[in-house]
Structures are given as structure tokens and as C-alpha cells.
């Protein structure tokens, strides 16, 4: 039997599959479809201190092999999350990574403090990359100093693993991974969605109420793989990869590129029963390639004959 | 708990150049579905189109006493409904369900008035069967663009459903919108003796129609339930795309996910904006 467990800083995940933030509700919505304890982790929908209404519809639109979303981080806020969702998640023995969002540095710190005292929280993912709200964390995520400051500030107030979630909407994502590492992050996760838009040519109106939104799904996968590859070369902390993963093959591609774990988002919308299928596919692969531990695959990309063609930093 | 069935297409019946009825071998879902619930459907396995689409379950198919499958009423509008228009017997369509909150039925002596606009007929075949089984007197107000787009009239009539038809071009039934005969009959029922006046209105169709029906029902003191259709990503409450505003106690509104809080809502609860 292969060992599927992976290590994210001090946190051991039963397997490398995490449900991506914003794509799995608060987790409890899917408890009827999947045994939450069998996932590597459940990443909560992004939480602010206070409840938020989000954007008016239309909030999503399908694009070739992908989708745009501009939900606007509708959510119940951290206090209701702890009171209403966390007890059930604890009971179902989920590994809970809480995605936190702030408009200010103080708000991230306050959220980290509150969640550090809550029972059943296993790690914090810092949302500094949502492209859809002006007042949110993207202002931190698009500045190296901002990224460093928010990660350091949260690091100081929590014992929990800290995982900044990086935006791909920057020139050099690896430098943001380095800034995160220097600030004390336990891991980085990437990529959040690509800022994008779609227009109805008949009406000449944007298809999303927010005009622009974030692109996810298989369409972005090759870019995400490249960015994960760049980041794992730049830092020693684990990289959690995501972007268009829809099969075991896709997971393996990210692991080989250097991801220690992965998140599945959009594909869960299409198939809420995807998790066991992907895990079985990974087991088959490990057996076929005689690999004892899934962790042994991480970063095993062989560029020996192609290194010359790699021109980026 | 919903199940995902790789459902074989039993047959694809084209009703017009846009409308079709697809029969799917999904007995696990068909045997569990309640009137008003829906399924998330994806023809083919590729990534384009990527997401499933929501469809009300139209009919539950039975053969020799056993549940054989279900049908979907589809109107060709976009990529997915285009593919569904072209499926042939033996094709496979992924079908996830049953999902969402069903209609709340009514028993005699209350009457049920179903109001359908166009493809909004979809949830009313299963609802009509359940109502008829309870002995509830049922009427279908059914509006479409033209008489050629009024479907399954014999199906409903043969089950004892009273039909009130309207078409925008006047080619069948009354000319104009379905809300015109609805209001006339609501007014008449309001002035009749109390015994026959307990009526619950069920509606499915374009949102402006649902708003008008909800307001008419409220105006004449009747309960209403409407089945809404919003752009939906997952059907499971995961994506928060299909939200609809519902009224707060304080006079404002807040968004709820129509996939898990609906698709059926009390007409009085929705904040039409």
C-alpha cells in the first residue's frame, strides 16, 4: 500500500488532495457526497471578520474549458463560521484550513487571533489574491512589501501553519513565494484565478455584473504548472499547487512540477465525487511506477536534456 | 443525498425546431425525485462545455410498474442545450441529482393552480401527477409564444388537469400573457364562495412572469411557490453563483443560493428587484 501522506510544515495531510477555497462552500455542503475525513484538507470559503453580501448576479460565466467568477466573497464571517460550521467539520474529522481575507493588516491579524483559539482549525490560508474585490487582499498580494508585511504580522500571532495564497496576476510569482518564505510562511499556495473578462457581443455588455472576474478551470492549467515549477525552485517551503486540476494525471503533473499538495476547485463543481476517483488514479500510478510514497514524487521533473531551453529567472 | 448517474439516452423526442424531450436511464434518481427538484446534466466527457446545467425533472418514466428513468424538457438556447438537442439513443449524459427543495403539495379541498411560461412547463408534469394522486383539483395556466410551442396538452388533459392556454401571437388560447387569464380567474375565485377559494399557485417560467404571478397571488390573498432558474455552477451549494435576493425581516434583502435554498421559493419571500 502506497503512503499518500504529505507534510505541509508541521501539518501532516492524509493525502495531497485539498478542496480549494470558494469551490467547496464551507465543506458541510458536500458531506453527503464525500467523507470529509478522507480529504487531505478542506479549505474554507474566504472569511472576513464580518458577513458579506458579495456581488449581484451574474456571478459566473463559462468560457472555453474554464469559467470566470466574480462572487465577491459572499460569506457568513468568522464568528458564524466558528459557531455554525466548525462543530460539524470537527465531528466529521475534517482537516480544516481556513481561508482568511482582510481589508487591512489588522483585520488579518484579528482573524488569525480568533481562529488560533478555535478548536478544529489546522492551518490558515491567507487570501491575498482574490481578484474580484477592490478592498480585499489583492493589494497585499500584488506588492512584495505588502505580502511580506501581512505574512509576518499573522506569523507573530499564531501557532497555526500560515499559507499565503498567491495571485498569478504579477510579473514574477516566484518573488512573492520568496517574500512569503522570508516572512515566515509555512507554505505557499498558488494559483488563485487569472483576472479576465467576457463580453456579450449582441448586447455589448460584460457577462459578469462585476465586469471582470477570475478565470479558473482546465484552460489555466499549463500556466499554473509553470508557476508552481518556478516557485518550488525559488523556495524551500512546500508549494501547494492548483489551477484546472480535473484528474489524477493533472495532480501528478503538479506534484512532479514541485507541488507537495494540490487543491481541486472548479472540477469539484463538475463532479463532486471526483475525490476518490483521483486518489485511486494516484495509487495506480504509484504502483505502476513502483513509488512507495507520494511525497517521493514531489519535484521529480527531469529537465536534464531540456534545461538549456529554460530561460526564465 | 444526490447520486451521479452516467445515464444512457433512451430516446430523444424533438417537439419543435427548438424544444426536445430527452429520456434518460437514471432510475436511481427518478425513483427518489420529488416534484420541483432538479438534476445537473452534462452531455459528453470533455472540458468544453465544462460545467453541468440544471434541469427540472420533467417526467418519471415507469415500465411494468418499475421506475425506468426520467425525462428532461429542453429548449435549445446555448451550447449545452444545443448538444442535448442532438443526442441520440445510446449516448451517455451525466446526471447528478436529485437536488434542491421540492414544491410543497396541497391536499383537497385546496386547489392547485400551476402557471407555466414556455420551457417553464418542466416541473409541472411530476407536480401534476403528485397532486392528482392526492385528489387535488389542478389547473394548468400555460403560456407560450405560439400554439406550436404548447406541448403535452393531451398528457395533462388525460390526467384530469384543467387547461387554460395563452399565446403571444394568439394562435392558440387567449392572446397575450398567461397572467391575464390568471388574474381574471383569481378575481373570480376571490368573489366566489369561501369553500372553493383555497388556492395555491405554483409558477415556473421567466423571472418577470414569476414576479407578476407572485404579486397577483399576494393581491388576491393566495399562497404561491415559484421555481426559479439562475445561472448555476455546481447545484450543491459550493460555488455561490446562483444566488437570489430574499426579503429580510428588516425590509432589506440578502442573497441565498437557489440550488440549496430553492429552486422552489415562496413567492412572498423573494425580493424582486
Q: What is the pLDDT of residues A88-127, one digit of tens each?
A: 999 999 999 999 999 899 999 999 999 999 999 999 999 9
DSSP states of A87-99: HHHHHTT--EEEE
Chain A residues within 8 A of B239 when measuring between CB atoms: 22-23, 60, 69, 71, 269
Closest CA to B43 of B68, B10, B6, B12: B6
Instruction: Output the pLDDT for position A307.
Output: 62
Q: Does A275 touch chain B (CB under 8 A)?
A: no
Task: Provide the ipTM.
Answer: 0.94
Closest-CA distance of chain A to residue B105, Å: 26
Helix (H) or strand (E) holding A153: helix A144-157
Chain B residues within 8 A of A61 when measuring between CB atoms: 231
Rounded Cα gap, residues A243 and A221, in angstroms = 5
Cβ of A272 and B236 within 8 Å? Answer: yes
* Residue-range domains of chain A with CATH: 6-54+72-193+216-309 (3.20.20.70)
User: Hey, is B185 helix, strand or coil?
Assistant: helix
Contact in structure between B257 and B242 (CB atoms under 8 Å): yes
Q: Closest CB to A269: pick one of B47, B48, B234.
A: B234
Interval A119-138 mean pLDDT: 82
Catalytic site includes residue A101? no
Q: Give me the residue label for grid cell 429580510.
A: B248
Rounded Cα gap, residues B156 and B144, in angstroms = 16
Chain B residues within 8 A of A67 when measuring between CB atoms: 50-51, 233
Confidence of residue A141 (pLDDT cuts 50, 70, 90): confident
Instruction: Output the pLDDT for position B191.
Output: 65
Confidence of residue A136 (pLDDT cuts 50, 70, 90): low
Q: Give me the residue label for grid cell 417553464.
A: B120
Closest CA to B137 of B103, B110, B165, B159: B110
Could you give phi then psi for residue A298, rounded to 5 degrees?
Answer: -60, 125
Helix (H) or strand (E) holding B82: helix B79-86
Confidence of residue A312 (pLDDT cuts 50, 70, 90): low
Closest-CA distance of chain B to residue A24, Å: 5
Residue spans per domain, chain B: 3-99, 111-230
Closest CA to B2 of B260, B217, B229: B260
Q: What is the pLDDT of residues B94-139, one digit of tens each?
A: 999 999 999 999 999 999 999 999 999 999 999 999 999 999 999 9
Q: Give me the residue label for grid cell 440578502.
A: B254
Instruction: Output the pLDDT for position A101.
Output: 94
Rounded Cα gap, residues A101 and A137, in angstroms = 6
Q: What is the pLDDT of residues B228-270, one digit of tens each?
A: 999 999 999 999 999 999 999 888 999 999 999 999 999 999 9
Q: What percent of chain A has pLDDT over 70?
A: 96
- Residue A310, pLDDT > 70, answer no
Contact in structure between A129 and A166 (CB atoms under 8 Å): yes
Q: What angle do CA B26, B126, B8 make, to 5 degrees?
A: 15
Cβ of B254 and A53 within 8 Å? Answer: yes
Assigned architecture for domain B3-99: Beta Barrel (2.40)
Could you give phi then psi for residue B250, rounded to 5 degrees?
Answer: -80, 5
- Residue A1, pLDDT > 80, answer no
Closest-CA distance of chain B to residue A56, Å: 8
Confidence of residue B44 (pLDDT cuts 50, 70, 90): confident
Q: Which CATH class is domain B111-230?
A: alpha beta
The residues that bridge with A200 in the sheet, in sequence order, are A205
Instruction: Output the pLDDT for position B228.
Output: 97
- Residue A309, pLDDT > 70, answer no
- Residue A313, pLDDT > 60, answer no
Question: Which residue of chain B comes nearest to A44, CA vs CA?
Answer: B238
Chain B residues within 8 A of A218 when measuring between CB atoms: 47, 50
Q: What is the pLDDT of residues A6-30, one digit of tens each?
A: 999 999 999 999 999 999 999 999 9
Instruction: Output the pLDDT for position A129.
Output: 80
Confidence of residue A178 (pLDDT cuts 50, 70, 90): very high
DSSP letter for A108, please: H
Q: Helix %, strand %, coil % for chain B, to 5?
A: 25, 35, 40
DSSP letter for A166, please: P
Contact in structure between A40 and A17 (CB atoms under 8 Å): yes
Closest-CA distance of chain A to residue B245, Å: 9
Please give the grid coordinates belonging to residue A93. Answer: 474529522
Residues in chain B whose Cβ is within 8 Å of chain A: 1-2, 4, 42, 47-52, 79, 94, 96, 230-231, 233-234, 236-244, 254-255, 260
Q: What is the pLDDT of residues A36-50, one digit of tens each?
A: 999 999 999 999 999
Residues in A 27-86 with any Cβ partner in B closer than 8 A: 29-30, 32-33, 45, 53-54, 57-62, 64-67, 69, 71, 74
Q: What angle do CA A32, A35, A41 make, to 5 degrees?
A: 120
Instruction: Output the pLDDT for position B249.
Output: 86
CA distance readout (Å), A58 to A63, A207, A261, A313:
14, 7, 32, 39
Amino acid at each position: 500500500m502506497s503512503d499518500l501522506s504529505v507534510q505541509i510544515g508541521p501539518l501532516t495531510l492524509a493525502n495531497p488532495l485539498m478542496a480549494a477555497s470558494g469551490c467547496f462552500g464551507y465543506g458541510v455542503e458536500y458531506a453527503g457526497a464525500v467523507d470529509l475525513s478522507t480529504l487531505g484538507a478542506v479549505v474554507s470559503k474566504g472569511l472576513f471578520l464580518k458577513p458579506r453580501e458579495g456581488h449581484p448576479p451574474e456571478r459566473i460565466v463559462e468560457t472555453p474549458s474554464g469559467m470566470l467568477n466574480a462572487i465577491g466573497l459572499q460569506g457568513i464571517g468568522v464568528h458564524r463560521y466558528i459557531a455554525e460550521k466548525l462543530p460539524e467539520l470537527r465531528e466529521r474529522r475534517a482537516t480544516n484550513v481556513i481561508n482568511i481575507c482582510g481589508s487591512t493588516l489588522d483585520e488579518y491579524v484579528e482573524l488569525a487571533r480568533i481562529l488560533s483559539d478555535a478548536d478544529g482549525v489546522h492551518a490558515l490560508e491567507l487570501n491575498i489574491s482574490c481578484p474580484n474585490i477592490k478592498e480585499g487582499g489583492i493589494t497585499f498580494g500584488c506588492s512584495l512589501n505588502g505580502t511580506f508585511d501581512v505574512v509576518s504580522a499573522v506569523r507573530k500571532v499564531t501557532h497555526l501553519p500560515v499559507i499565503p495564497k498567491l495571485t498569478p496576476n504579477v510579473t514574477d510569482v516566484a518573488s512573492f513565494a520568496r517574500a512569503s518564505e522570508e516572512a515566515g510562511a509555512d507554505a505557499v499556495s498558488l494559483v488563485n484565478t487569472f483576472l479576465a473578462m467576457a463580453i456579450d457581443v449582441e448586447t455589448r455588455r460584460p457577462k459578469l455584473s462585476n465586469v471582470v472576474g477570475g478565470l479558473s478551470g482546465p484552460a489555466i492549467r499549463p500556466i499554473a504548472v509553470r508557476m508552481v515549477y518556478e516557485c518550488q525552485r525559488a523556495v524551500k517551503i512546500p508549494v501547494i499547487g492548483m489551477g484546472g486540476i480535473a484528474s489524477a494525471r493533472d495532480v501528478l503533473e503538479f506534484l512532479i512540477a514541485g507541488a507537495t499538495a494540490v487543491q481541486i476547485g472548479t472540477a469539484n463543481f463538475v463532479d463532486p465525487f471526483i475525490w476518490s476517483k483521483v486518489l485511486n488514479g494516484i495509487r495506480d500510478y504509484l504502483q505502476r511506477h513502483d513509488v512507495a510514497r507520494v511525497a517521493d514524487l514531489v519535484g521529480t521533473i527531469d529537465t536534464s536534456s531540456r534545461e538549456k531551453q529554460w530561460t526564465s529567472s | 443525498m444526490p447520486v451521479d448517474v452516467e445515464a444512457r439516452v433512451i430516446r430523444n423526442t424533438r417537439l419543435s425546431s427548438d424544444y426536445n424531450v430527452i429520456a434518460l436511464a437514471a432510475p436511481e434518481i427518478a425513483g427518489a425525485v420529488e416534484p420541483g427538484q432538479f438534476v445537473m446534466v452534462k452531455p459528453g466527457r470533455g472540458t468544453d462545455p465544462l460545467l453541468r446545467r440544471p434541469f427540472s425533472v420533467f417526467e418519471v418514466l415507469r415500465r411494468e410498474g418499475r421506475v425506468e428513468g426520467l425525462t428532461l424538457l429542453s429548449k435549445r438556447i446555448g451550447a449545452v442545450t444545443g448538444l442535448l438537442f442532438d443526442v441520440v439513443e445510446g449516448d451517455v449524459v451525466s446526471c447528478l441529482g436529485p437536488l434542491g427543495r421540492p414544491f410543497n403539495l396541497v391536499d383537497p379541498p385546496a386547489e392547485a393552480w400551476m402557471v407555466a411560461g414556455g420551457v417553464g412547463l418542466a416541473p409541472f408534469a411530476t407536480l401534476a401527477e403528485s397532486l392528482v394522486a392526492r385528489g387535488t383539483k389542478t389547473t394548468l395556466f400555460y403560456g407560450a409564444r405560439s400554439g406550436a410551442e404548447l406541448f403535452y396538452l393531451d398528457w395533462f388533459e388525460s390526467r384530469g388537469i384543467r387547461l387554460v392556454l395563452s399565446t403571444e401571437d394568439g394562435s392558440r388560447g387567449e392572446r397575450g400573457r398567461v397572467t391575464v387569464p390568471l388574474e381574471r380567474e383569481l378575481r373570480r375565485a376571490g368573489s366566489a364562495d369561501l369553500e372553493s377559494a383555497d388556492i395555491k399557485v405554483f409558477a415556473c417560467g421567466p423571472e418577470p412572469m414569476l414576479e407578476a404571478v407572485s404579486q397577483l397571488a399576494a393581491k388576491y390573498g393566495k399562497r404561491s411557490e415559484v421555481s426559479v432558474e439562475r445561472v448555476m455552477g455546481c447545484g450543491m451549494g459550493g460555488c455561490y453563483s446562483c444566488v437570489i435576493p430574499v426579503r429580510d425581516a428588516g425590509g432589506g434583502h440578502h442573497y441565498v443560493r437557489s440550488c440549496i435554498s430553492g429552486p422552489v421559493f415562496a413567492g412572498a419571500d423573494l425580493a424582486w428587484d
